[in-house]
Amino acid sequence: MVWITRIVISTVVAASLVQAAVEKLDASKFTLFGKPGHYESIIAKLDDELPNVTVAEVIRNTNHPNLAYSGPSHWVQDFTWDKKTGYNDQDTTKWYPQGITSSSDAYDKGTYGDNNIILTSWYDHTVPSSDSSNKGVRISFIDMTNPSDIKYRNVLLVVPYETSSGSPSFHSVKIHAGGIMWYGNLLYVVDTANGIRIFDLSHIYEVSIGDGIGNVGSGRYEAANYKYVIPQWGHYLAYSSTAKGFNFSFISLDRTTTPDSFVMGHYNSTGYNNRVVRFDIDYNSRLPVHSSGTTATATEFYNVGLKSMQGATSVTKNGVQKYYFSCSRGENTNGHLYTWIPGQDVVEHTGVLSKGPEDLAYRQQNDELWTLGEHPGERPIYALKAGSY
């Protein structure tokens, strides 16, 4: 395993107290109803139709370089997307990056097999979700194993279904995908209005290259010219009235709690009702801990009230829990990082993030906070040292 880090001799970061009180809410009122394995029967049929490849094979077939990015000195690592004649993920307006997670979330050792990997989500930005041509969500598999040769491949997320004739097929996932979390073989993707969709990385299918999505006839499957697809396996939907009034905007794993847990947050540009909620997660099933049947009940719930909150995660060290929040400030202004220890004031770290910062993920191995920028021309993927804030 190779970890690549920019050495920072000294860093001075502006910080100030925020005159806003975090309000503790009743976590018992926030419940999700799960349908784990909801698509298993159709996935079994797709297994008979399509080659099933591993994460390692996707990584071996990465086809785009991650290019160097010159961020500020307090970013301990940074890079950006491919940009060349005929292909440009740095500037495209067709897709916007949103969520981030890593192999440190997937497994405690920090790697998935032998690979050091980051995953990011992108949503189709130009085609309305009501349009059948909307391509939905793609996931970038970024291989960081060799620090001198970081590269990636984009893979399409899909929802399995059966055609009227009973044949297996799939369609695109038409959501914003503002946050993602990788845990074992499962990829959690937030669905703003509904809850969480779960995708199974032990079923990644290789398909034919073509414009279509799904079964296009004669035993041929396509995915909008992507080589691989990942099918949705199950979901957890907002169940209680409190949960139904929540925007599922971002998500992150917390491996520093016992048991492991995850945090989700609500985005609003004004800060009104911007809340975060925590659920315990079962290490063996890789699913939220169920309070009854397949219903999961939150363990923490706070009204944070930060304007344009785009991501949140938390880290517990020496018995002290600290939350981190990424907040955007428009296309032309660097975003702010906020920290909060329960019982203390919120602290603002002004302008330490990129323009348009999004989801957050924590990597224990190097005490790093990872995030990414969404705006065309300003799309770094980068890390800060969590302990510096």
pLDDT given for residue 277 in this prediction? 98
Q: How far apart are CA 295 and CA 285, in angstroms?
A: 14
> Is the bond into 147 cis (omega within 30 degrees of 0)?
no
pLDDT given for residue 21 in this prediction? 80
Between β-strands 75-80 and 381-385, what pairing exists: parallel, antiparallel or unpaired?
Answer: antiparallel
pLDDT given for residue 15 in this prediction? 74
Alpha helices in 156-307 (DSSP H): 241-244
Q: Low-confidence residues of the chain, pLDDT below 50? A: 1-12
pLDDT given for residue 10 in this prediction? 33
CA 383 to chain centre: 15
pLDDT given for residue 112 in this prediction? 95
pLDDT given for residue 211 in this prediction? 97
pLDDT given for residue 304 in this prediction? 96
Query: Looking up tokens 């994460």, which residue turns up?
Result: 55
Identify the sign of the CA torsion 112, 33, 271, 138. positive
pLDDT given for residue 12 in this prediction? 39
Q: Is the pTM of this model over 0.85?
A: yes
